[in-house]
Amino acid sequence: MTLTACVTSTPMPTALGYLPVAHVTGCGTPANTGPLRSTNIVLGQELSDRLLELLTIENVDSPQCWYERSDGVVELESGPFCEPTLLAYFRRVNGEWKLETQNTQPLVLCHERAATEPGR
């Protein structure tokens, strides 16, 4: 009997539970102005579940765009293009993730957000 298998390489999240990536479909390019530069990240399922549990709302709209700032804060920006957006900021303290702030941005300037989205 001969067994044949195909092995694919799927990136695994780092010890922090996420991976930096160049682009996430449906998400804009992070704003890299000022002292805090951001990077697109993709969260592993365990970290995603943990951070979403920390929010004070139950339903988080898609797309869910995650960014890592140069100061270690993880940002979540969620919601459809040109609609009110949930912004949340998380920080790891003594090995535990904590929600720093959460708010809904009621006013969205579509031309500003569109400028950061590839292909728009």
Peptide bond into 84 cis (omega under 30): no
What does the pLDDT profile of the chain (120 residues) look like in tens digits? 444 444 434 455 677 799 999 888 888 777 665 667 788 999 999 999 999 999 998 889 888 999 999 899 999 999 887 777 899 999 999 999 999 999 987 766 665 544 455 544
As a whole number of angstroms, the distance between CA 40 and CA 30 comes to 7
Do 43 and 17 meet the contact criterion of CB atoms below 8 Å apart?
Answer: yes
